[in-house]
Structures are given as structure tokens and as C-alpha cells.
Amino acid sequence: MADLSTDCAGIKSPNPFWLASAPPANSGEQVMRAFEYGWGGAVWKTLGQDPAVINTTSRYGAVDIGGMKMAGFNNIELITDRPLEDNLKEIYEVKKRFPKHAVVASLMVPCERKAWHDIVKRCLDTGCDGFELNFGCPHGMSERGMGAAVGQVPEYIKMVTEYVKEKSTIPVLVKLTPNITDVRYAARAAKQGGADGVSLINTINSIMGVDLETMKPKFAVGGKISHGGYCGPAVKPIALNMVSQIATDPETRGLPISGIGGISTWADAVEFMLLGSSSVQLCTAVMHYGFRIVEELNAGLEDWMERQGFEKLEDFIGKTAPSVVDWKTLNLHQKTVASIDHATCIGCDLCFVACNDTAHQCITIEKKNGNRKPIVIEEDCVGCNLCSLVCPVDGCITMAEIKTGHKPLSWEDYTKNGFAGYKEVYKRMHG
């Protein structure tokens, strides 16, 4: 049986699935229930200074895409609105009852050394397994100089991380905001400040829409809205990119990562792990379906590992990261062309119109006797994938590799000698 236990920056848990710091991890009762269902860890809803914040009503919003509910989700909820002492007591109780599960205290206080020292010291008494510094929350708290306001300034990230490391005896994760030009700078700053790892992504600045009848923002508070944090399935590719950037950056390579962003299934989680995450955090999917989804997260991961012959998570964590490279090193001589299986083609002709109107005009239909089956003009096909992406039938359009006989050629190699042989290369590539 595969071993699902993980060690992310020194924080150990029986499996890599943690509740993200969010409403599902708002109280001891919830976290304990989640652990009973099988969650490996929980990052507590962010703790802050008393008096606790006051939240608005109407806090969450969603976009439904093509009938899929909550394909994207957002919130303007702030950090915990419960008194610090209540949370600390509950963390202590949870840890006592679930000593092997990971309980991580998420923290957010003003950028003052004393404030951070105080909260770290108080939290250490709870027996929690690690800290996550919330430098990511993009709404509300950022207006008060916290959350994303810190995460957007690498110098602040480093400074505050240092404050925490001065007092902490347990691992420290820095949670990063995606609302930044290049996340590698933030990750480097965290590392320089002594962080044991990073967690990402936090939510993305977002407005969920406008009601076309009232012409007020959707999910408004008394007719007005403030930008919220966007998450859910729609953000996963953005998160995967940022995770892979940190996993492959020479300065941060090897820094433990807790992956977050649109994870709904075990397969999503595996993708984050293959790109370098040693634990993953979920929120939107839990808020959609409840804690029980962890049963399939664990079972699906285990089945996949057995199928692949992996015994433990380290066998594959980061395995795919080296395949994420700069564009300039990609092989320009790689050639694939679309291949349409007429036996399964249903004649919707979406591939035809997509290619003809919007891509490279390489699909034709011989419209005789009501024939609707599209044909790829192989010599013109540039292998862009679009037809295979729009095709509703699984496996009907595949991209077949064509052996060209040409040696691999990257843009980097090609331009080294000042575009030598431009015409020949261009002709070879574009026919």
C-alpha cells in the first residue's frame, strides 16, 4: 500500500491534503470533523490581533460556466472574526486530540516586530505544527497594510519573515499573493528571510460581475462591492505556473511548497505535486461539496501511485518541474499534425470552423451527399491543437507526431549565429 504521509517544510501529516486557511478551517469543531473524514492537515483561518475584525454580509460570489456551478469563486471575507484566545484554545484542543495531523496557524498582524513576536509566542503554546504567514489576502486587510500589501513588496516579506523566525521554534511557511508581476521575487525574499517553505497561490483580485438589471455589482454589499479574492477551478493553471516557477528558479529550487489554487480532485493535486508541491491545500471544492471529498482525494491518489509503482510521495514530488523551461529552448523542429478519426467523428464541424475562422485554415470538408466529416490538410497543418481542443468527442482528434528527420533546433540555438540560414529554416518550419 502506498504511503501518503508527507513532510512539507518540516510539517508532517498523514496525507498531503490540508484545508486551506479559509472558512472551512474556522473553528476547532470544523477542523476535527475534517480530520475525522480523513484530511491530513488544516491551516487555521488566519489569526490576528484583537479586537477581531467585523465582516460584511454577502461575502462570497461565484461564476458558473456552461452550467458548471462555481467554476470560479471569490470572497471578501476577512481573517477570523473570533477572539484570538478562543482560536488558540481550540487549536490546543484539536492538537491534543489529533497529534499526528498537521495544524498550521495562519497569522496576520501589522508589520511591527513586537506584534509578530507576541502572536508567535502565544501560538507556540498551542502545540501547533507550523506557521503560515498570510501575505496574500488581497481584500480588506491589504488596505490596512497587511496581507497582500506585504506580499507585494519583497523587502517586507523578508523583514516580517525574519521577525517570525526570531521567535518561532516551528516551521514557517510564507503564503504568497499572485497579485504580483513575478512571483519568484516574492519567493526569493521569503527564502532570504529564513522561511522554511512557501504556500501559493492566495486569491486573485477580482470583481465577479455586474447585474444587468440593477447595473450594480453582483454579490454587492448594499449596492457596492470591493474587489475580492478569486479562486476555484478556473485559477488552477495560474497557480500551477507560479508553483513551477518557484520549483525551477535557481534561487528557490528545493524550497518546500504547499500548493494551492483550484484543486478539486486527486488528479489536480497530483499535478501540483509533480510540479513541486509537497502538500496541497483546498478550499473552494470543500466549500462546494463538504469535507467528504477527501475520501476520494486519498483513494484516488493512492490508486494512481499504485498504478505508477510509487511507494511514497517523494517518489514523484517535483518530477515534472524540470520539463517546464524557457520558450527559447523548445524544439522548433518538433512537428505534429491533427488526425481525425472518422469512425468516431459526429460531424459537428466545430474543428472546421475553428481552424478556418480562427486558426490556420488547414481543415476542409468535401460537402457531397450530406457528408460532414472534416479532413485535415496535413501539409498545411501547423499542429496548433485547436481542433482537438474544440472536438467534443474524446479521442476523435489526436495530434500525431511526424518524423521530420531534422535535428532539434531551438530559437536559442538558431539565433546564436545571427539568424543563419533564415530562409531555409523558415521554409522548413512553415512549408
Partner 1 sequence: MDSATKKIFRENFAEINPALRPEEAVVEANRCLYCYDAPCIKACPTHIDIPRFIKQIASNNLVGSAKTILEANALGHSCARACPVEVLCEGSCVYHDWQEKPISIASLQRRATDHANATGLRPFKPAPDNGHRVAVIGGGPAGLSCASYLRRLGYAVVLFEKHKKVPGGLNTFGIAEYKMDQKVSLDEIKRLFQLGIDVKMGVEVGRDIAPERLLKDFEAVFIGIGLGETHSLGIPGEGLRGVWDALSFIRFVKDRDLGPIGKSDCTVVIGAGNTSIDAVTQSKRTGAKRVVMAYRRSEAEMGAYGFEYALAKSDGAEFLWHASPVRILGKGRVEGIEFARTKAVGGKLKVTGSTFKVACDRVIKAIGQTKHFALAKAFDLKLASDGRISVEPETLRASHPRVFAGGDAINGGKEVVNAAADGKRAAWAIHRALQPGVPAPAGNDYWISTIDGRKVAPIMPKLPSERTKAHG
Q: Which residues are catalytic?
A: 137
Give the Å distances, CA to CA, from 75 to 22, 207, 256, 320.
10, 10, 27, 32
State the binding string over 313-352 for partner 1 (x if CB under 8 A, else -): --------------------------------xxxxxx-x
Q: Which of 238, 353, 399, 425 binds partner 1 (CB under 8 A)?
A: 353
356: contact with partner 1 by CB under 8 A: yes
First to last CA, the chain: 52
Stretch that binds partner 1, among 16-24, 113-121, 233-241, 359-367 (CB under 8 A): 359-367
* H or E element that contains 305: helix 293-308
User: Closest approach of Cβ 365 to partner 1, in Å?
Assistant: 9
State the binding string over 379-408 for partner 1 (x if CB under 8 A, else -): -x-x---------xx---------------
User: Closest approach of Cβ 371 to partner 1, in Å?
Assistant: 12
User: Are 268 and 236 a contacting pair, CB within 8 Å?
Assistant: yes
Q: Closer to partner 1 by CB, 66 or 405: give it.
A: 66
Stretch that binds partner 1, among 91-99, 255-263, 302-310, 357-365 (CB under 8 A): 357-365
| Phi (first) and psi of residue 64, to 5 degrees | -100, 130
- Coil, strand, or helix at residue 203? coil
430: contact with partner 1 by CB under 8 A: yes
User: Are 210 and 217 a contacting pair, CB within 8 Å?
Assistant: yes
105: contact with partner 1 by CB under 8 A: no
User: Closest approach of Cβ 360 to partner 1, in Å?
Assistant: 6
| Phi (first) and psi of residue 231, to 5 degrees | -155, -165
Cell of 427: 521554409
* H or E element that contains 339: strand 335-340
User: Closest approach of Cβ 31 to partner 1, in Å?
Assistant: 34
Q: Closer to partner 1 by CB, 238 or 365: give it.
A: 365
Q: Closer to partner 1 by CB, 99 or 347: give it.
A: 347
Stretch that binds partner 1, among 241-249, 275-283, 302-310, 354-362 (CB under 8 A): 354-362
Q: Closer to partner 1 by CB, 44 or 352: give it.
A: 352
Please, which of residues 117-176 interact with partner 1 by CB under 8 A? none
User: Are 349 and 371 a contacting pair, CB within 8 Å?
Assistant: no
User: Closest approach of Cβ 68 to partner 1, in Å?
Assistant: 9
Q: Closer to partner 1 by CB, 254 or 357: give it.
A: 357
Q: Which of 100, 114, 121, 372 binds partner 1 (CB under 8 A)?
A: 372
User: Which among 258, 225, 221, 261 is positioned nearest to 241, based on CA atoms?
Assistant: 261
Which DSSP state fits 131?
E
Cell of 366: 468535401
Question: What's the CA gap between 62 and 208, in Å, rounded?
Answer: 7
User: Closest approach of Cβ 213 to partner 1, in Å?
Assistant: 11
Q: How would you classify the pairing of strands 6-8 and 11-13?
A: antiparallel
The owner of cell 475553428 is 354
Question: What's the CA gap between 84 and 58, in Å, rounded?
Answer: 24
Q: Which of 66, 222, 395, 405 binds partner 1 (CB under 8 A)?
A: 66
Give the Å distances, CA to CA, from 171 to 124, 194, 382.
11, 10, 49
Question: What's the CA gap between 357 and 140, in Å, rounded?
Answer: 44
User: Closest approach of Cβ 331 to partner 1, in Å?
Assistant: 18
302: contact with partner 1 by CB under 8 A: no
Question: What's the CA gap between 153 and 151, in Å, rounded?
Answer: 6
Stretch that binds partner 1, among 22-30, 129-137, 301-309, 358-366 (CB under 8 A): 358-366
Q: Which residues bind partner 1 (CB under 8 A)?
A: 66-67, 345-350, 352-353, 356-357, 359-361, 372, 380, 382, 392-393, 430-431
